[in-house]
Amino acid sequence: MQKIVLFLSIYTMLGTTLLAQIQTGENVAIANTESGKVRGYIQRGIFTYKGIPYAEAKRFEMPQKPKPWTNIRSSMTYGPVAPLMDPTYVTGDESEFIFHHDWGFTGEDCLRINIWSPGISDGKKRPVMFWIHGGGFWAGSSQELPSYDGENLARKGDVVVVSINHRLNVLGYLDLSAYGEKYKHSANLSIIDMRAALEWVKANIANFGGDPGNVTIFGQSGGGAKVNTLMAMPSAKGLFHKAINQSGSFRTAMLEKTETQAITAELLKILNIPASKVDSLQKIPFVVLSEASKKALKAVENNMKAAGKPLVGGSLGWGPSRDGEDLPYQLFSSEAMNLSKDIPLMLGTVKNEFAPFMAAMRGKMSAEQEMETAKKQYGEKGDAYLAAVKKAYPNDKRPGDMLDIDLMFRPGCVLQANLKSAIPGGAAVYTYLFSWHSTVMDGKWKSFHCLELPFVFNNVARCPEMTGATKEAEALGARMSQAWINFARSGNPNHPGLPLWEKYSAAKGSTMFFDNTCQIRNNHDADLMSLTGN
């Protein structure tokens, strides 16, 4: 018996060692694309490809199919990330430890795709999970956070995970449509890049073991907002079949052409470029363009405020706009909602979102200070506010817990869920709230923006600075990643590890709480939403 146990132990050790090896070489992980063959590598059984061009584009012009290549293209490392308006990040030591960013290297030739697949020549048609990174519409990349790595999710779910880089900020959203046909689509090139990547997936993903007829787009924060934008894009219809929006319903409206063209006119004025010389924008250094664009945004923002026009988030920034062609409808309009009527949607937020980033919210606070602060913020409704928060989150006991509940992302999530679930004959909607508190740094960061990402990607152990990599966190990651996998496979996130997750309706408001103990709660924060005007 002891010999058998010893043999099994040795076999397991050898198997684990072999599985952990990275397989590389001239004839390893070769796959076909429309543009030519690519070579990746195999890590722990997952075929991995990085930095494959899915398109190419001149500055401010439409993406085109990449030029074909004849040799096998080595595709083993991430490609360039989109140039950022503020490339030098000012970050706190503590927060940088938690997020563990990988900023990558920038370049305007950034239209690249990454793929993780359990197999490429086995005849399988696996669900495709198409990840869109966060960072608003002006920052971020497909490699920015360690949680974005798709290896573990691909292995666990037998799915193909895809992520992309695309144009951002002024390069992705400057509206030059008034200055010539080649700039006709410039106001929304960033979103058009995503459409081009989805078209690439449709044409090529079968060569990587994926099913082009079962594609789920999912994204977080700005990536979630991009998911919403693609759902409102007529020309993207049919390129994806399910959608997941994580903390991305904060933007319910887009700028109109009046504003976007005003920004461009101001930019040309700042750079002293006449309309007849607008093509010179394609050649000036990005840093010059970026600095001028900041000034242009601020000038138009001031004009809009003076005219009493509303601003998303109180300030003007880059993002998609209703251009009348690529994006003809406002995001939450009936036309946009009906366009995505048949797309099952899962959406949610995390309990504290950005509040823990505010130093005052992380400090020690007495019950008296909590009450005083609530009354300063909500006046005569202070007592009612605290009562509503306690009803919504009865397990929050520490002084200060009542003040850092997210009210930035959650209202838009509820609004979107209410609108989509009310469409007659529409696809299912499922909502969640991630309420698990991180144990790192004595737990003071609570349930913060981006915290759900390692759980979704089954990367809890890969991100110990964020998750603590505890047994409880690992168990929650297993339950959450399975829900995302099941939704991508069938449009239904239910599995035996969770309580029954009902479809959402405004009347019942069924919401899955992801925590050490997962549970369904119905309209848990209805009083809080009503009291705060949401």
Note the pLDDT tens digit of each residue in 506-524. 999 999 999 999 999 999 9
Q: Read off the pLDDT band of 205 (50, 70, 90).
A: very high
At 344 the pLDDT is: 98
As a whole number, the mean pLDDT across the chain is 92
Q: Do domains 22-165+188-249 and 346-531 have the same CATH topology?
A: yes
By DSSP bridging, strand 30-33 and strand 321-322 are unpaired
* Active-site hit among 166, 185, 449, 524: 449
Which range among 44-58, 391-405, 474-488 shows the weakest confidence by mean pLDDT?
391-405
What would the CATH number be for the domain defined by 346-531? Answer: 3.40.50.1820
pLDDT tens-digit readout, 12-56? 444 444 445 899 999 999 999 999 999 999 999 999 999 999 999
Model confidence at 379: pLDDT above 90: no
Is 353 catalytic? The answer is: yes
Token pair of 315 as six digits: 């300030």
At 1 the pLDDT is: 46
Determine if the pTM surpasses 0.85. yes
Residue ranges per structural domain of the chain:
22-165+188-249, 346-531
* Active-site hit among 147, 190, 221, 293: 221
pLDDT tens-digit readout, 86-108? 765 556 888 899 999 999 999 99
Is 505 catalytic? The answer is: no
With contact defined as beta carbons under 8 Å apart, do 149 and 459 qualify?
yes
**3.40.50.300, 2.70.98.90, 3.30.70.580, 3.40.50.1820: which CATH number matches 22-165+188-249?**
3.40.50.1820
At 239 the pLDDT is: 98
Alpha-carbon distance of 412 to 249, in angstroms, equals: 5
Return the H-helix or E-strand segment holding 279: none
Is 221 catalytic? The answer is: yes
At 89 the pLDDT is: 58
Q: What is the DSSP string of 212-272?
A: EEEEEEEEETHHHHHHHHHHT-GGGTTS-SEEEEES--S----EEHHHHHHHHHHHHHHHT
